[in-house]
Amino acid sequence: MKGEATTKFGPRIIRPLIKASDVNSRVRELAERISIDFAGQQLVIIGILAGAVQFMTDLVRAMPEDFAIGLQYDFVGLNSYNATQST
C-alpha cells in the first residue's frame, strides 16, 4: 500500500507534514514579496546544494516575468570537516 513502510517494529504510516498546496502557496507569497522588496535592484539568489534546487526552481518560476528577467542565480556546495569525518 502506498504510504506504508516496514520497519523492524512493523508497518509505519508515512504521511506529509505539510500539504503540497500549502508549500506552493507559500513559495508564491515569497516570490511576490521578494519581487516587491527588491524591485529595481539587481538580485542574485544563491542556493546551497543539494537541497535547494527544487525550491529555487519553484521560487524563480513564481516570480513575475518582468522581475525574473534580470535575475541571476547560482548554487554553492558546502562541506564541513571534523578530523576525518564529513557531514
pLDDT of residue 39: 86
Task: Count structural domains, the chain.
Answer: 1
Environment class of residue 5 by beta-carbon count within 10 Å: exposed (0-12), middle (13-18) or buried (19+)? exposed
For the entire predicted model, the pTM comes to: 0.64
> What is the per-residue pLDDT for 5?
58
53 within a domain of the structure (yes/no): yes
* 28 lies in some domain: no
Decide if 54 is inside a domain: yes
pLDDT for 6 equals: 60
In a domain, 2, yes or no: no
86 lies in which domain range? 41-87
pLDDT at 76: 87
> Is residue 20, in this structure, part of any structural domain at all?
no
Residue-level pLDDT, tens digit, the chain, 87 residues: 555 556 677 677 778 888 989 999 999 999 999 989 988 888 888 888 877 888 888 998 998 888 878 788 888 887 777 666 655
For the record, the C-alpha cell of 84 comes out as 576525518
74 within some domain:
yes
pLDDT at 87: 54
